[in-house]
């Protein structure tokens, strides 16, 4: 079974860097994996491609070293199992309300005795019935990581209990949704968000868990690392493409080229 790069680094006390890929060209996933990124955030909560498409994208990363962290929508427990069978090393579960829901996520993602995940074995994760069953079950429980997102004020109220749930590996702050819920949309550097950083950091440290947050600059990443975060998500392919196109436009305008900007 392919070991998780993310879990390996976290267990050694090393920081992890994940980037988000929304575009569905396998070449982009292959490139990121060959370049050695720790993980790719595959967002199937907000994007409409099918699990079959997702599986082909996961297959493209096998040429390199990168983990897939797949995000389902809230409550998609059955879909999470199929994401793992398709080759995801971890699941990021969104909008978790409390410790009871976090425990239910773990229950669906882990084989007995930790959970009730159903077994097939004839998929890329085993892969393809090539391992003794007991070895597969053990390695799957060891290598599959569980990320619980902190995106709502009521979740923050239960952060200590969520951090204490056995099988939860990483607490992941969602600053965008939190800022909306707190009535400060887009103010991801606001003191209220920073208070969530501090509370999450303490809850994670008290329970021997890791935590992280999307970062929007090298400077912010350094600040998060200083607070004990070791799971950092930075940028996305659509942002990189947009920034590159904007650079071209601005560099060529002085030469007399004009652009019919429909986004301005």
Q: What is the CATH number of the domain that holds 166?
A: 3.20.20.60
**Which tokens belong to 21?**
């890929």
Residue 261 maps to a domain: no
| Residue 231 belongs to a domain | yes
Among candidate residues 57, 96, 54, 98, the one with its CA nearest the CA of residue 77: 96
Residue 194 lies in a domain: yes
Domain assignment of residue 27, yes or no = yes
Other C-beta atoms closer than 10 Å to the C-beta of 241 total 13
CB contact at 8 A, 166 and 102 = no
How far is Cα of residue 194 from the mean position of the Cα atoms in its chain?
A: 20
Averaged over successive runs of 10 residues, the pLDDT of the chain (264 residues) comes to: 97 98 98 98 96 98 98 97 98 98 98 97 96 98 98 97 98 98 97 98 98 98 98 98 97 98 89
Residue 121 to residue 135: CA distance in whole angstroms: 12
Establish if 146 belongs to a structural domain.
yes
In whole angstroms, give the CA distance from residue 236 to residue 157.
30
pLDDT of residue 264: 80
Residue 103 within any structural domain of the chain: yes
Residue 110 covered by a domain: yes
The answer to whether residue 158 is domain-embedded is: yes
Q: Which domain holds residue 109?
A: 5-255
Q: What is the distance, to the nearest Å, from the Cα of residue 10 to the centroid of all Cα atoms in its chain? A: 14
Instruction: Determine the pLDDT at residue 49.
Output: 95
> b/e per residue, 15-35, with b = 16+ CB within 10 A?
bbbbbbbbeeeeebbbbbbee
What confidence score (pLDDT) does residue 212 get? 98
* CA gap 198, 177 in Å, rounded: 18
Total domain count, the chain: 1
Rounded to two decimals, the pTM is 0.97
Output the pLDDT for position 80. Answer: 98
């Amino acid at each position: 079974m392919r070991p998780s790069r993310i879990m390996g680094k976290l267990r050694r006390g090393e920081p992890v860097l994940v980037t988000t890929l929304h575009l569905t060209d396998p070449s982009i996933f292959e490139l990121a994996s060959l370049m050695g990124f720790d993980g790719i955030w595959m967002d199937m909560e907000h994007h409409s491609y099918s699990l079959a498409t997702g599986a082909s994208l996961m297959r493209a990363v096998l040429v390199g070293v990168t983990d897939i962290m797949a995000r389902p929508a809230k409550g998609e427990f059955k879909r999470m199992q199929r994401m793992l069978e398709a080759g995801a090393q971890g699941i990021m579960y969104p909008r978790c309300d409390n410790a009871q829901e976090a425990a239910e996520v773990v229950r669906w993602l882990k084989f007995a005795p930790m959970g009730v995940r159903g077994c097939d074995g004839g998929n890329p994760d085993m892969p393809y019935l090539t391992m003794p069953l007991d070895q597969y079950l053990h390695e799957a429980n060891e290598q599959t990581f569980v990320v619980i997102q902190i995106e709502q004020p009521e979740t923050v109220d239960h952060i200590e209990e969520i951090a204490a749930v056995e099988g939860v590996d990483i607490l992941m702050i969602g600053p965008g949704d939190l800022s909306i819920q707190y009535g400060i949309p887009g103010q991801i550097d606001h003191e209220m968000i920073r208070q969530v950083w501090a509370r999450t950091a303490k809850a994670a440290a008290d329970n021997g868990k890791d935590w992280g947050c999307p970062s929007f600059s090298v400077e912010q990443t350094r600040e998060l690392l200083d607070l004990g975060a070791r799971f950092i998500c930075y940028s996305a392919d659509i942002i990189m493409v947009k920034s590159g196109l904007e650079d071209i436009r601005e560099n060529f305008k002085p030469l007399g080229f004009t652009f019919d900007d429909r986004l301005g």
